[in-house]
Amino acid sequence: MLEFSVITGAITENSSTRVLGLRVVADISMSSNLGCMDRPSAAQDEVDRIVAAWQRERGDLDVAPLRVFSRISRLSRHLDLARRAAFTEHGLEAWEFDVLSALRRAGEPYELTPGTLLTQTLVSSGTMTNRIDRLVTHGLVVRAAAPNDRRVVLVRLTESGREAVDAAMSDLLRSEATLLDALDEEEREVLANLLRTLLRPFEE
């Protein structure tokens, strides 16, 4: 899931990444200002009050990153609630959705090796084995031998698994779209591009 504390920590520890982060902060601020030229000024939110308080108390610090990351952190909480609601509605836990969605994205016949699954879901081999066992028990996946090499084990999505992940994904996307209601299409595209720039160094 989205873990913004990792980003914040890296910016604190790595000067070159901090420069990148601050440049993106500036870009986001500029984009926001441009977007507001044709609309009334937005009312202050809690983050504005937090930033103002830190500026008052620690005028020696550049608190500009708080304007971005405090809001990202708050939005992540709303996203987490939306994810939990979508998954719970269809009897899934977050980790189950992560595995099932990786298989669903793979396309027919919706199967991957356990090694590929652990790479995509960022967990250890032992954790993945346990998760596959539990998904098999719930009837959401099956283990099968690869047709060209029976020594290779594949994890395959069952019909029940596909129905569950499809339904959960539909509900999740509706909730995520609601979280973006305040932005028009152009603003969403600008935000997505800026966040991609900010995230790229952590995924290379």
CB atoms within 10 A of CB 164: 23
Q: What is the pLDDT of residues 71-85, one digit of tens each?
A: 999 999 999 999 999
Q: Would the pLDDT of 100 be above 60?
A: yes
Confidence of residue 103 (pLDDT cuts 50, 70, 90): very high
How much is the average pLDDT of 23-49? Answer: 58
Average pLDDT over all residues of the chain: 83
Q: Dihedral of the CA atoms 81, 182, 186, 204 (nearest 10)?
A: -30
- pTM of the predicted model, to two decimals? 0.69
Provide the residue type at 54 as one letter: W
Q: Which of 32-36, 145-149, 165-169 has the lowest mean pLDDT?
A: 32-36
